[in-house]
Amino acid sequence: MSYVGLFISVACALAAAASGLGHRWGLWHFSTGFQVFKTAAIIALISVAVSMAGGLFALRDASRLKTLCAALGVALGFIVAGFLHAHMQIARRVPKIHDIATDTQNPPAFQAVLPLRKGAKNPPAYEGARIARLQNKAYPDVKPLTFQTSKEEVFRRALDAARAMGWHVVSSELPEGRIEAYDTTFWYGFIDDIVIRITSGSGTTRLDIRSKSRVGVGDIGENARRIRGFFEKLKIR
């Protein structure tokens, strides 16, 4: 039973990994990937029970190999199931929105990436007050940044930070103070678009940023995390 439990746990781990990679490689729709992931996590709990039972028999027989296999089966099964549980907890804590902007009254508009968004499930337009209200409650720290340096300097730093984040820069226009890019998530390969707007006046320079998913109702906080990561890159430069 120790071997069986470990085999099931390994199979579940591989299925969970493939659930996202399969969508990233174009093998199936992301909803299919989600279902594969959920099923793998449920079966992983069964593998934990099988591995525990196998571990008891292994201890009785004083078999180190079987005991090790049982321990690995339990650990791997809990990791797979725990990963799904963690994602579900995050999804419950954050609102089901996929468009985050530092300026919710006048969010930066997409221009250069519009041709790339052709056919995307989520339209490029900002949805307005409802989205703004949910964002401000969930992510009160996502606000514009103000600098005491020139527009040119902030633009350079922002472009360097965008590239350091691994984003694919589509357009960078200094006169307009606009940078547009897109980012691809590692596991499922979801593509999110980013626009940065830099304006100056009264001796200060303001930076606004917006990140929006092309598909999906919710983003499990990904767009807000991306903006926070970008801000961190700006701070260390």
The pLDDT tens digits for 19-55 are 998 988 888 888 999 999 999 999 999 999 999 998 8
| DSSP conformation letters of the chain | -HHHHHHHHHHHHHHHHHHHHHHHTTSS-HHHHHHHHHHHHHHHHHHHHHHHHHHHHHHHHT-HHHHHHHHHHHHHHHHHHHHHHHHHHHHHHS-S--EEES-SSSPPPP-TTGGGGTT-SS-SS---HHHHHHHHHH-TT---EEESS-HHHHHHHHHHHHHHTT-EEEEEETTTTEEEEEEE-TTT--EEEEEEEEEEETTEEEEEEEEEESS-S--TTHHHHHHHHHHHHHHT-
Place of tokens 């390994």: 10
Place of tokens 């340096």: 149
d(CA 201, CA 33): 48
d(CA 197, CA 233): 17
> What does the pLDDT look like over 70-96, one tens digit per residue?
999 999 999 999 988 888 888 888 999
Question: What tokens does 158 get?
Answer: 């922002």
**What residues form DSSP beta bridges with 195?**
180, 210
Greatest Cα pair distance, the chain, in angstroms, is 79
Q: Average model confidence (pLDDT) for the chain?
A: 92
| Closest of 224, 101, 207, 228 to residue 156, by C-alpha | 207
> What does the pLDDT look like over 103-114, one tens digit per residue?
999 999 999 999
Q: Model's pTM, two decimal places?
A: 0.85
| Percent of the chain residues topping a pLDDT of 70 | 99
pLDDT of 236 higher than 60? no
> What does the pLDDT look like over 192-218, one tens digit per residue?
999 999 999 888 999 999 999 999 999
